[in-house]
Chain A
C-alpha cells in the first residue's frame, strides 16, 4: 500500500534558523512528488514538483530534494512569513491518484 509520512509534525524555529522537513514515501512506482504550502483557513498552494532521485528545486528560501525513499524541504534563514503547514504528496498509479502526508506545521518566531 502506498504511504507518505512527514516529520516532524510540528517545528518551531527562530527567524534565521535553518532546518529541514522530511517526507518519506513508499509507493509502487513514483510518478511525481509534490510539495505544497497551506496557510490557516486556506487551500494548499503548490510549491514544487520532483520526478526523479537527485532532482532539486529552489524557490526563495526553500529548496526541495528527492531520493529514492524520501524528500526534504530545506528552509534557509526562515522568516515569520514562512510560517505555515507544509504538505508532501506523491503520485504513483493510477496517474490521477494522489496521496498526501499529514503535514508539518512550521512556526517561525521573530
Chain B
C-alpha cells in the first residue's frame, strides 16, 4: 500500500530534550515536506526537500533541522524543543518537483507533540 508513515504518532517530552520524528514514504517520491498545524494558524511549512541531499526552508524553520540522505526518509529533528513547538506535525511527499509539488501530495497521519 502506498503510504507516508510517521513515528511516533504521539509524543510528550520536556524542554531541551532532543527528539526526532521520522517520516518514510514507499512511493519513490522525489519531493518531501514537513508542516506544523496549529489552531488559528493553519498549516505552515517547516522544511522541504526537492530530492536527496537537497533541502530548503519553509515559512517556519526556526528550531528545526532536517536531513535527506535517502529518498524514502525525511526525519525532522528538534535539537532543543521548547513549549512553542507543541503542535501537530505532518510529513508529506509528492512525485512532482518544479511547478507541481503540491499536486498529489500524500500526507502522513500526523504526529502530535507536547513539549512541557
Residues of A within 8 A of B (CB): 31-32, 34, 36, 41-46, 49, 51, 87, 89-91, 94-103
Q: List 15 A-B contacts (CB under 8 A).
A: A32-B102, A32-B103, A34-B102, A42-B109, A44-B43, A49-B103, A89-B102, A94-B56, A96-B31, A96-B50, A97-B48, A98-B45, A100-B42, A100-B44, A102-B42
Q: Which A residues lie within 8 Å of B98 (CB)?
A: 31, 95
Q: Which B residues lie within 8 Å of A31 (CB)?
A: 98-100
B100 & A99 in contact (Cβ 8 Å cutoff): no
A52 to B99, CA, bound (A): 12
Q: Which A residues lie within 8 Å of B107 (CB)?
A: 43-45
Contact residue among A43, A95, A102 (Cβ-Cβ distance under 8 Å from B99): A95
Contact residue among A34, A99, A103 (Cβ-Cβ distance under 8 Å from B105): A34
A98 & B101 in contact (Cβ 8 Å cutoff): yes
A46 & B106 in contact (Cβ 8 Å cutoff): yes
A49 & B42 in contact (Cβ 8 Å cutoff): no
Closest beta carbon of chain B to A21's beta carbon, Å: 14
Contact residue among A43, A98, A101 (Cβ-Cβ distance under 8 Å from B102): A98
Known: A31-B99, A34-B102, A96-B101. A102 touches B41 (CB 8 A): yes
Q: Which B residues lie within 8 Å of A41 (CB)?
A: 110
Q: Closest 5 CB pairs between A and B? A: A43-B107, A102-B42, A34-B102, A100-B43, A49-B103
Q: Which B residues lie within 8 Å of A46 (CB)?
A: 102-106
A43 & B108 in contact (Cβ 8 Å cutoff): yes
Contact residue among B41, B43, B101, B108 (Cβ-Cβ distance under 8 Å from A91): B101
B92 at the interface (CB under 8 A from A): yes
Known: A34-B103, A49-B100, A94-B56. A44 touches B42 (CB 8 A): no
Q: Which A residues lie within 8 Å of B99 (CB)?
A: 31-32, 51, 91, 95
B70 at the interface (CB under 8 A from A): no
Q: Which B residues lie within 8 Å of A36 (CB)?
A: 105
A96 & B108 in contact (Cβ 8 Å cutoff): no
Q: Which residue of A has the minimal Cβ distance to B106?
A: A46
